[in-house]
Amino acid sequence: MDIKYDFSSELVIPISYGSSEAIETGKWGFEKPETAFMTAPCQEVCPAGNPIPQFLYFAGEGRYKEAVEAILKENPFPGVCGRVCFHPCEKDCNRIQYDEAVSISAMERYIFDVTSNQHLDIHPLSHADSKRIAVVGSGPAGLSAAYFLRLLGYQVTLFEARKELGGVMRWGIPEYRLPKAILRKEIKRILQLSAIDVKTGMRVGEEISFEELNRFDAVFLSPGAGLILSLGIEGEDLKKVWIGGDVLDRINSGDKIRMGKEIIVIGGGNTAMDVARSALRLGSRVTVAYRRTRSEMPAIQDEIQEAEEEGVRFEFLLQPVKISLLKNKKIRVKFQRMRLRGRDHNNRPKAIPVQGAFLTRDADGLIKAVGEGVDLSWIPETLARNSLIDVNTSFITPHPKIFAGGDAIDQPRTIVTAIASGKKAAISIDLYLTGRTHDDVFPKIRVGNRGALSMEAYLSGRDDRNWSEPKDVVSYPQLNTLYFEHSKRTNMCKLDRHQALKSFSEVNLGLTTDEARLSALRCFSCGTCNYCFNCYFFCPEGVISLDPLHRTKGVDLDHCKGCGTCAKVCPRFVVHMKGLS
Partner 1 sequence: MKEFLTGNHAVARAVRLCRTPLIAAYPITPQTPIYEKLSEWEASGELKGIMMRTESEHSAMAACIAASLTGVRTFTATSSQGIALMHEMLHFAAGCRVPVVMANVNRLLAAPWGFWADQLDSLSQRDTGWIQLYCENGQEALDSVIQAYKIAEQVFLPAMICLEAFFVSHFMETVEIPDQEQVDRFLPPLNLPHRFDIDKPGYLVPVVPPELYRKYKHMAQTSMNSVKEIATRVDREFREGFGRGYGNVEPMMLEDAEIAIVTAGSITSTARIAIKTLREQGHRVGLLKIRLFRPFPVEEIQQALVGKKKIAVIDRNISLGSGGIFCQELRAALVHSSDHTLTFNYIAGVGGTDVDPEVIEKIALDVMNRREPIDTPIWIMED
- In angstroms, the CA 488 to CA 99 distance is 7
* Shortest CB 412 distance to partner 1, Å: 54
Contact between 72 and 122 (Cβ < 8 Å): yes
- Which one of 3-11, 192-200, 201-209, 260-268 is the stretch in contact with partner 1 (CB under 8 A)? 3-11
Select the residue interacting with partner 1 from 9, 355, 386, 552 (CB under 8 A). Answer: 9
* Shortest CB 9 distance to partner 1, Å: 8
* Shortest CB 4 distance to partner 1, Å: 8
CB closer to partner 1, 4 vs 329: 4
Contact between 532 and 571 (Cβ < 8 Å): yes
CB closer to partner 1, 6 vs 234: 6
- Which one of 7-15, 76-84, 115-123, 307-315 is the stretch in contact with partner 1 (CB under 8 A)? 7-15
* Shortest CB 20 distance to partner 1, Å: 7
Contact between 462 and 456 (Cβ < 8 Å): no
Of 349, 427, 356, 360, give the one whose Cα is nearest residue 394. Answer: 427
Select the residue interacting with partner 1 from 16, 253, 387, 512 (CB under 8 A). Answer: 16
Of 543, 533, 521, give the one whose Cα is nearest residue 570. Answer: 533
DSSP letter for 169, please. Answer: H
- In angstroms, the CA 291 to CA 88 distance is 25
CB closer to partner 1, 16 vs 97: 16
* Shortest CB 23 distance to partner 1, Å: 10
* 360 binds partner 1 per the rule CB under 8 A: no
* 1 binds partner 1 per the rule CB under 8 A: yes
3-state secondary structure of 553: strand
Hey, how many other C-beta atoms are within 10 angstroms of the C-beta on 117?
8
Which residues are CB-contacts of 106 (< 8 A; sequence separation ≥ 6)?
A: 82, 490, 491, 492, 508, 510, 511, 516, 519
Hey, how many other C-beta atoms are within 10 angstroms of the C-beta on 578?
12
CB closer to partner 1, 24 vs 315: 24
* DSSP conformation letters of 103-149: -HHHHHHHHHHHHTTS---------TT--EEEEE--SHHHHHHHHHH
Of 168, 251, 98, 104, give the one whose Cα is nearest residue 419. Answer: 168
- The residue length of the chain stands at 581
CA distances from 116 to 169, 194, 410 (A): 18, 16, 33
CB closer to partner 1, 18 vs 62: 18
* Shortest CB 548 distance to partner 1, Å: 25
- Which one of 12-20, 132-140, 214-222, 565-573 is the stretch in contact with partner 1 (CB under 8 A)? 12-20
Cα separation of the two ends of the chain: 32
* Shortest CB 21 distance to partner 1, Å: 11
* Shortest CB 549 distance to partner 1, Å: 24
Which H/E stretch holds residue 85? Answer: none
- In angstroms, the CA 109 to CA 84 distance is 10
- Which one of 16-24, 97-105, 190-198, 478-486 is the stretch in contact with partner 1 (CB under 8 A)? 16-24
* Shortest CB 533 distance to partner 1, Å: 19
CB closer to partner 1, 3 vs 257: 3
Of 521, 522, 539, 523, give the one whose Cα is nearest residue 575. Answer: 539
* 3 binds partner 1 per the rule CB under 8 A: yes
* 7 binds partner 1 per the rule CB under 8 A: yes
Q: Strands 155-160 and 132-136: what pairing?
A: parallel
CB closer to partner 1, 105 vs 534: 534
3-state secondary structure of 501: helix
Select the residue interacting with partner 1 from 12, 128, 482, 549 (CB under 8 A). Answer: 12
Residues between 19 and 48 with contacts to partner 1, criterion CB under 8 A: 20
- Which one of 5-13, 57-65, 326-334, 536-544 is the stretch in contact with partner 1 (CB under 8 A)? 5-13
Count of positions on this chain that bind partner 1 (CB under 8 A) = 16
- Which one of 11-19, 127-135, 507-515, 543-551 is the stretch in contact with partner 1 (CB under 8 A)? 11-19
* 482 binds partner 1 per the rule CB under 8 A: no
Contact between 237 and 243 (Cβ < 8 Å): no
* Shortest CB 559 distance to partner 1, Å: 15
* Shortest CB 27 distance to partner 1, Å: 18
CB closer to partner 1, 12 vs 128: 12
- In angstroms, the CA 183 to CA 570 distance is 40
Q: Strands 241-243 and 365-368: what pairing?
A: parallel
Which residues are CB-contacts of 385 (< 8 A; sequence separation ≥ 6)?
A: none
CB closer to partner 1, 18 vs 412: 18
CA angle 53-56-57, nearest 5°?
80
Select the residue interacting with partner 1 from 11, 195, 326, 354 (CB under 8 A). Answer: 11
- Which one of 10-18, 210-218, 266-274, 456-464 is the stretch in contact with partner 1 (CB under 8 A)? 10-18
Select the residue interacting with partner 1 from 15, 181, 357, 509 (CB under 8 A). Answer: 15
* Shortest CB 563 distance to partner 1, Å: 21
* Shortest CB 147 distance to partner 1, Å: 54
Enumerate binding residues for partner 1 (CB under 8 A).
1, 3-5, 7, 9-18, 20
